[in-house]
């Protein structure tokens, strides 16, 4: 899709669809006010969130359609709401065969954040998870151009970079596990690094064994697919004014059967999304390479497949992690935390001073927060505050969870330093406490994205499948450092 800035007056815009924002209780002002009022007065439009009304061949406009897009209450309208609205409008208009769209922003919303959000919403809404459908008509209805009237070129460019990066993550996570193996995920990282001038290093199984990554290798040993530790480095062109070094660690389980502690069959197909944290890390590194923040950023993705093969890890096995601590594996389906502890330790060895891990880690977080908020845990409140400010600016909802020392009691083992599960009560918290034991005193945030990494049903603004959650937050965190 071609993304542009529209510079003509509204009346002169020649397009298939001209989108205007409408709010509850007030028709848009300006050259379209009479036309908009007509739709309000007829009861065809009230301005409610994501509502749409279309006026064909509007008098006094060159546009073929005037589209009123519902923004809800004007006082509560923000870039996050515009992002959703833009996606919903694009999906609705695409289904009607519209090919060219211009979104006109009212004067109060002609800022870079709003313009970028409009572009992001359109590009995110445009993606369909239909790569493997053979229907020759699947791509007949396509929007070829989306323009923003009332935005700067820099804002539009930033929106395109972020949305393309998020869609890159979504496409990766949507791939079936027979296609996206740990090896193929590592190849995707190499290709990304070559395209965007990032440094890339892939640790193979032998190298990880030499280093002593016993926790990760224990998870991987049941699969015929070899594991990979993916490392991407971004270095700013100028010498940083700070010694801070951001580490983004993403869980990369390309398929999770649960291993010997096998999952129920129902819903197991969703476990191709178990590498969504890794996909978000790769997407963020892609955008970071283009937007060039002033601090170094390293992405680390431990990539494995968790299978119940004849060599698979057994409940009761004891493994030695990279930092030397031993773990008794009581449940092989609590594998994400095992691969993450070796990745977190390795990120520290690479010089990262601030760590953020992103993982579809527990079903417990879904019980606690549903599919709306990411669960956020930390050992450093100022660092979490900084990350949550970035998340709020990008419209990615997070909720801080407790991480009191009392929860660690549930992880005590009689046979090793700790075991990998703490029982059903507070499952997401004990999982975070397990990770915390391996970050030492480094400022660290753990994001449990199990409830937000994919949609089981389409939204008006986003297709069913992977969401790419976290990408925009990570990028803004680095840019705002």
Q: What whole-number distance in Å separates Cα of residue 289 and Cα of residue 475?
A: 10
Positive or negative, the Cα torsion across 478, 479, 480, 481? positive
Cα separations (Å) of 158 from 163, 290, 365, 376, 391? Answer: 9, 9, 32, 26, 16
Q: Inter-axis angle of helices 427-436 and 336-349, to 10 degrees?
A: 30
Determine the straight-line distance between the first and last CA of the chain, rounded to whole angstroms.
Answer: 32
Which residue is catalytic, options 4, 99, 190, 263? 263
Q: What is the DSSP letter of 58?
A: -
Name the one residue in this structure whose structure tokens are 């990494």.
453
Q: What whole-number distance in Å separates Cα of residue 234 and Cα of residue 241?
A: 16
Q: Inter-axis angle of helices 153-174 and 276-291, to 10 degrees?
A: 150
Give the pairing of strands 199-203 and 65-70. unpaired
Q: What whole-number distance in Å separates Cα of residue 53 and Cα of residue 69?
A: 7
Q: Which two tokens stand for residue 58?
A: 């509007």
Q: What whole-number distance in Å separates Cα of residue 359 and Cα of residue 251?
A: 5
Name the one residue in this structure whose structure tokens are 């170094």.
296
Q: At 249, is the secondary structure helix, strand, or coil? A: strand
Q: What is the DSSP letter of 27?
A: -
Any catalytic annotation for residue 337? Answer: yes
Which residue is catalytic, options 160, 184, 337, 472? 337
Kindly list the catalytic residues.
263, 337
């Amino acid at each position: 899709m071609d993304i542009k800035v529209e510079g003509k007056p509204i009346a002169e815009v020649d397009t298939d669809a001209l989108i205007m924002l409408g709010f509850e209780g007030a028709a848009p002002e300006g050259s379209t006010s009479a036309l908009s009022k007509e739709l309000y007065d007829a009861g065809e439009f009230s301005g409610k969130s994501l509502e749409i009304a279309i006026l064909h061949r509007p008098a006094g406009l060159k546009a073929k359609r005037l589209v009123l897009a519902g923004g809800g209450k004007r006082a509560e309208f923000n870039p996050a709401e515009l992002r959703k609205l833009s996606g919903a409008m694009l999906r609705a208009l695409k289904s009607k065969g519209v090919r060219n769209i211009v979104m006109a922003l009212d004067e109060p919303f002609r800022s870079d954040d709003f313009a970028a959000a409009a572009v992001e919403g359109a590009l995110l809404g445009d993606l369909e998870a239909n790569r493997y459908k053979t229907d020759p008509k699947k791509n007949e209805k396509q929007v070829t151009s989306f323009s923003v009237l009332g935005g700067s070129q820099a804002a539009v460019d930033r929106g395109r970079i972020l949305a393309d990066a998020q869609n890159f993550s979504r496409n990766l996570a949507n791939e079936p596990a027979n296609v996206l193996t740990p090896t193929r995920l590592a190849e995707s990282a190499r290709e990304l690094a070559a395209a965007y001038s990032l440094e890339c290093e892939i640790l193979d199984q032998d190298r990880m064994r030499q280093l002593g990554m016993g926790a990760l290798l224990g998870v991987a040993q049941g699969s015929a697919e070899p594991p990979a530790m993916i490392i991407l480095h971004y270095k700013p062109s100028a010498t940083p004014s700070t010694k801070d070094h951001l580490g983004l660690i993403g869980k990369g389980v390309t398929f999770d059967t649960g291993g010997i502690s096998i999952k129920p069959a129902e819903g197991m197909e969703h476990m191709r999304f178990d590498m969504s944290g890794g996909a978000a890390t790769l997407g963020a590194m892609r955008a970071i390479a283009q937007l060039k923040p002033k601090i170094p950023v390293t992405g680390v993705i431990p990539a494995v497949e968790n299978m119940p093969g004849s060599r698979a890890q057994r409940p009761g096995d004891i493994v030695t992690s990279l930092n030397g601590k031993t773990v008794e594996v009581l449940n092989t389906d609590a594998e994400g935390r095992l691969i993450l502890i070796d990745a977190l330790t390795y990120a520290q060895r690479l010089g990262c001073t601030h760590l953020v891990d992103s993982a579809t880690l527990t079903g417990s977080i879904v019980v606690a927060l549903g599919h709306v908020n990411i669960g956020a845990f930390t050992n450093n409140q100022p660092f979490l505050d900084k990350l949550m400010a970035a998340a709020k600016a990008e419209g990615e909802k997070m909720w801080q969870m407790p991480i009191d020392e009392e929860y660690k009691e549930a992880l005590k083992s009689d046979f090793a330093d700790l075991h990998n599960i703490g029982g059903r009560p507070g499952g997401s918290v004990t999982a975070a406490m397990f990770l915390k034991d391996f970050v030492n005193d480094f400022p660290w945030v753990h994001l449990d994205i199990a409830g937000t990494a994919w949609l089981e049903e389409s939204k008006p603004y986003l297709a069913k499948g992977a969401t790419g959650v976290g990408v925009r937050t990570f990028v803004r965190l680095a840019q705002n450092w």
